[in-house]
Homo-oligomer: A and B are copies of this chain.
Amino acid sequence: MARVVVHVMPKAEILDPQGQAISGALGRLGFGGVADVRQGKRFELEVDDSVSDEALDRIAAELLANTVIEEYSVTRVESSAS
């Protein structure tokens, strides 16, 4: 089995209301010094070693991310294959 992490973040040019809401809350809670916050998603997948990088990329692009407004990255974290 292999462990794969997929990160999905809003594209830089896309408005991130969640991130802005957190930035505002940080100020109200007295946490200074935070210039910007962006919020995205993190997926951890347990996959067979037979699953190819190409299949993982398709999973990320077709199901986990909305590629119109989001960008994604796929990283194999561990693999039991030698």
Binding site for B on A (CB under 8 A): 1, 7-9, 19, 22, 25-26, 29, 31-48, 50-51, 55, 58-59, 62-64
A62 surroundings in chain B (CB, below 8 A)? 29
User: How far does the alpha carbon of A26 sit from the alpha carbon of B25 in the complex, in Å?
Assistant: 36
The answer to whether A33 touches B7, judged by C-beta atoms less than 8 angstroms apart, is no
Chain B CB count within 10 A is highest, among A9, A33, A64, for A33
The answer to whether B34 touches A43, judged by C-beta atoms less than 8 angstroms apart, is no
Nearest B residue to A44 via CB reads B38
The answer to whether A63 touches B26, judged by C-beta atoms less than 8 angstroms apart, is yes
6 smallest CB-CB distances across A and B, nearest first, come from A33-B48, A36-B46, A33-B51, A35-B46, A42-B42, A38-B44
